[in-house]
Amino acid sequence: MEKHNAIIKPSYDDRLTNDDLAPLKKQTWGSYNIFAFWMSDVHSVGGYVTAGSLFALGLSSWQVLVSLLLGIMIVQFFANLVAKPSQVTSAPYPVICRTTFGVLGANIPAIIRGLIAVAWYGIQTYLASGAFLLIVLKFFPELAVYADVKQYGFVGLSYLGWLGFMVMWVLQAVVFWTGMDAIRKFIDWAGPAVYVVMLLLAAWLVAKAGWSNIDLNLGGIKYSGFAALPVMINAIALVVSYFSGPMLNFGDFSRYGKDFKSVKRGNFWGLPVNFLGFSLLTVICIAATLPIYGKLITDPVAMVGHIDNTFAVVLGGLTFMVATVGINIVANFVSPAFDFSNVAPKMISWRMGGMIAAVGSIFITPWNLFNNPHVIHYTLDILGSFIGPLFGILIADFYLVKKQRVIVDDLYTMDRNGAYWYDNGYNRKAITALIPAAIIPVCCVLVPGLDGLANFTWFIGMGCGLAIYWAISHKQTANVAAGAVA
């Protein structure tokens, strides 16, 4: 972060302020920077597998594309909503949360988002390490024995796996440590670079398979007519859920936007246009593996590993390493950096907050988390059940309760007369709304009879959070008005 770009007034309390959380003097990001942010968020091993899985739901390819388009347009709509308060005030997500939860209560949504990011940061680093190991074993096949976790393993990961994980961990830490401007430069070229290689990979696979042998309906068509509608709705929900984390803290990036129009334009090119393009490239690549290798390969790292050209393997491996580093930094490093810094600004800088998340990602042993479907399901889905409610409460407060008015100076003061002091620094209405709004989607995850709603927890939580908070706030406002009249 650049210290000279921070506006810190004498009235700002150092318990709420540091150079990274303070408002910005200059907001310089244009549409391309926002577009590149979303490219980095989409282009990853996880994004590749997610897009491919949608084409394997049993729908025809046009039905999948319609579902993808509707889902990503919903993401675009909500990304625009959540972007505005941060763009207007140039304050990051946890600071904007002070308007809703109070200057101290904002640590509740900040820590929740930070913990989710730590878990995903470790998992994405582990996935990226697979691409690194692919390259290593291509040149040093004799090291394969050290990939055997039973002979050479520690806490569930092989020695070679540890090497790959820590190499990726250090690379990401170096990019992050250089600051937000360096991150912007990294994602500006990383997204387009991944696209170029994806296009080359798709062209090579299509040439080898023959276009007439490629069927974009990966799982075969199982649903038609009205029977396809519930499946399409599930696909739409999966798209929104996939982007729910980065969408919640998108303010951490929109704060740098030079104007709101640039942010909206970047969201348009980065979400509907970019995501559809990436999804088409993904499904073409996956579909081509069937005629070439006799089986569908949905893991891009495994796909690259099947190529018998060393240069292509290295290029493909490096591409997916860069892609995953990109998403990890923008989605899972920057967020906890601000979130943890917000807890104790005097002691925890933005860089320190990010490194706390990075170190924490090692201790949760993400490979064990990822390789155990039940553990990852309950851990991440339960944490994810809080994302929707936090989003709904934040949006309800900014647009419906406060009518888009924010007093920036009061975000950084512990003065009891400040607009966001509420009750000793906590807005009890927001906390009261969060509890039931989170319990309901958690029940959808844990209760067997409700598991059919698990894909819709973001919508359920967001709707409940918005409605409950609005109802509480509206009732209190009405009571105050009635008292004033009396």
The crossing angle, in degrees rounded to 10, of helices 428-446 and 457-485 is 150
pLDDT in tens, 91-120: 999 999 999 999 999 999 999 999 888 988
CA separation for the pair 141, 258 (Å, rounded):
50
Question: What is the reported pLDDT for 315?
Answer: 87
Contact 118, 336 (CB under 8 A): yes
Amino acid code (one letter) for 191: G
pLDDT in tens, 221-254: 888 888 899 999 999 998 998 899 899 999 999 9
pLDDT in tens, 350-364: 999 999 999 999 999
Choose between 472 and 45: higher pLDDT: 472
Domains of the chain plus CATH, in order, are 29-372 (1.10.4160.10)
Averaged confidence pLDDT in the chain: 89
Backbone angles phi, psi at 473, to 5 degrees: -65, -40
Question: What is the reported pLDDT for 301?
Answer: 80
Backbone angles phi, psi at 153, to 5 degrees: -140, 160
Amino acid code (one letter) for 45: V
CA angle 355, 250, 127 (to 5 degrees): 50
Q: Model confidence at 329, in pLDDT bands (50, 70, 90)?
A: confident
**Count of helices and strands (H, E) across the chain:** 20, 2
pLDDT in tens, 154-175: 999 999 999 999 999 998 998 8
CA separation for the pair 263, 369 (Å, rounded):
35
Choose between 400 and 5: higher pLDDT: 400
pLDDT in tens, 53-62: 888 888 888 8
Question: What is the reported pLDDT for 1?
Answer: 47
How many C-beta atoms lie closer than 10 Å to residue 162's C-beta? 19
Describe the chain by its helix, strand, coil percentages, rounded to 5: 75, 0, 25
CA separation for the pair 162, 62 (Å, rounded):
42
Backbone angles phi, psi at 436, to 5 degrees: -70, -35
pLDDT surpassing 60 at residue 435: yes
Backbone angles phi, psi at 157, to 5 degrees: -130, 140
Backbone angles phi, psi at 480, to 5 degrees: -65, -45
Structure token digits, residue 258: 């030079």
Backbone angles phi, psi at 426, to 5 degrees: -125, 135
State the average pLDDT over residues 437-460. Answer: 88
Instruction: Note the Cα 32 to chain centre separation in Å.
Output: 19
Amino acid code (one letter) for 361: S
pLDDT surpassing 60 at residue 457: yes
pLDDT surpassing 80 at residue 4: no
State the average pLDDT over residues 190-194. Answer: 84
Choose between 455 and 459: higher pLDDT: 459
CA separation for the pair 10, 259 (Å, rounded):
27
Question: What is the reported pLDDT for 476?
Answer: 61
pLDDT surpassing 50 at residue 391: yes
pLDDT surpassing 90 at residue 43: no
pLDDT in tens, 259-291: 999 999 999 999 999 999 988 888 898 889 989
pLDDT surpassing 80 at residue 480: no
Longest distance between any two alpha carbons in the chain, whole Å? 85
DSSP character string of 100-165:
HH-TTTTHHHHHHHHHHHHHHHHHHHHHHHHHHHHHHHHH-GGGGGGG-TTTSEETTEEHHHHHHH
pLDDT surpassing 50 at residue 479: no
pLDDT surpassing 90 at residue 309: no
- Residues facing 29 on adjacent strands: 257
- Residues facing 157 on adjacent strands: 154
Question: What is the reported pLDDT for 467?
Answer: 97
Question: What is the reported pLDDT for 376?
Answer: 64
CA separation for the pair 380, 363 (Å, rounded):
16
Question: What is the reported pLDDT for 477?
Answer: 54
pLDDT in tens, 119-152: 888 988 998 888 888 889 888 999 999 999 899 9
State the average pLDDT over residues 345-354. Answer: 92
Structure token digits, residue 365: 């042993």
Among 442, 75, 102, which Cα is nearest to 248's? 75
pLDDT surpassing 70 at residue 377: no
pLDDT surpassing 50 at residue 486: no
CA separation for the pair 323, 432 (Å, rounded):
40
State the average pLDDT over residues 302-311. Answer: 84
Structure token digits, residue 55: 């084409």
Question: What is the reported pLDDT for 422?
Answer: 96
CA separation for the pair 306, 324 (Å, rounded):
20
Which residues, 6 or more positions from 180, have their beta carbon under 8 angstroms from its beta carbon?
A: 1, 2, 256, 334, 350
- Rounded to 10 degrees, the C-alpha dihedral 27/109/83/8 comes to -20
Which residues, 6 or more positions from 283, have their beta carbon under 8 angstroms from its beta carbon?
A: 51, 52, 55, 61, 64, 216, 218
Highest mean pLDDT out of 37-41, 246-250, 330-334: 246-250
Q: Model confidence at 380, in pLDDT bands (50, 70, 90)?
A: low
How much of the chain exceeds pLDDT 90, in percent?
53
- Which ranges in 210-309 belong to alpha helices (H)? 228-248, 251-254, 260-268, 274-293, 300-305
Question: What is the reported pLDDT for 201?
Answer: 87
